[in-house]
Amino acid sequence: MLIDKKEILNKSLILCLENFFRDSDILDKYSNLHLDDNHPFRIINKRDFIKNKIWEAQLKVIFPLLEEERINLIEKHKEELEYVLTSNEILNREHGERIVNPYDLEIGVLDRMTNTPISKNQNQLRLNSSKENNRLKLIHNLRNSIAHHEACDINRIKEFLDFYPFAWE
């Protein structure tokens, strides 16, 4: 699927602005406090409001693309992941159940699988290049930021989109 990166950024920006203007009445409630526009209370609240709108746009536009990249990585390395899962006990942190389906692996688990031996047998996911490792780390960092209600740095988003969709080797 060919996606225009400018279209994604524009969609993200438009969504952010639509949300901002739709909800701008929240900022208006501070006007009855009779504080100067430069008062720290008003500036902090406006900044938080804007950051939240940026985060909302990233959640709606970027987060699904990160999930798509996770699935593409799993599909490209499915046989290796199935082998690693059958020869090691990888547990789902939330439920304590053994993971047997590669598609149940979260991006953070995939990232950790490339960095540390899973067991004394040393079976782990081996990506084919430093580009793949860097891409996985970027996806993991972006996903964690968005999942923890933090807006991602625009340069990191641009870095992600510059190689979207990524060609896993």
pLDDT digits (tens, 9 = 90+) for 121-164: 445 778 878 898 899 999 999 999 999 999 898 889 889 988 88
Other beta carbons less than 10 A from residue 111's beta carbon = 21
Q: What is the mean pLDDT of residues 31-51?
A: 61
Q: What is the mean pLDDT of residues 61-75?
A: 94
Comparison of pLDDT for 38 and 151, the residue scoring more: 151
pLDDT at 127: 80
Burial-class residue 16 by CB neighbours within 10 Å (0-12, 13-18, 19+): buried
Helix (H, G, I), strand (E, B) or coil at 91: strand
Report whether pLDDT(72) > 50. yes
> Range with the lowest mean pLDDT among 18-32, 59-73, 137-151?
18-32
Spacing of C-alpha 74 from chain mean position: 16
Helix (H, G, I), strand (E, B) or coil at 169: coil
Whole-angstrom distance, CA of residue 61 vs CA of residue 66: 9
Enter the DSSP assignment of 30.
G
Spacing of C-alpha 78 from chain mean position: 21
Comparison of pLDDT for 17 and 105, the residue scoring more: 105
pLDDT digits (tens, 9 = 90+) for 87-120: 776 655 556 677 889 999 999 888 888 876 555 5
pLDDT at 36: 58
Whether pTM exceeds 0.95: no
Indicate the angle between helix axes 40-76 and 130-147, nearest 10 degrees.
Answer: 140
Are the C-beta atoms of residues 146 and 138 closer than 8 Å to each other?
no
pLDDT at 117: 55
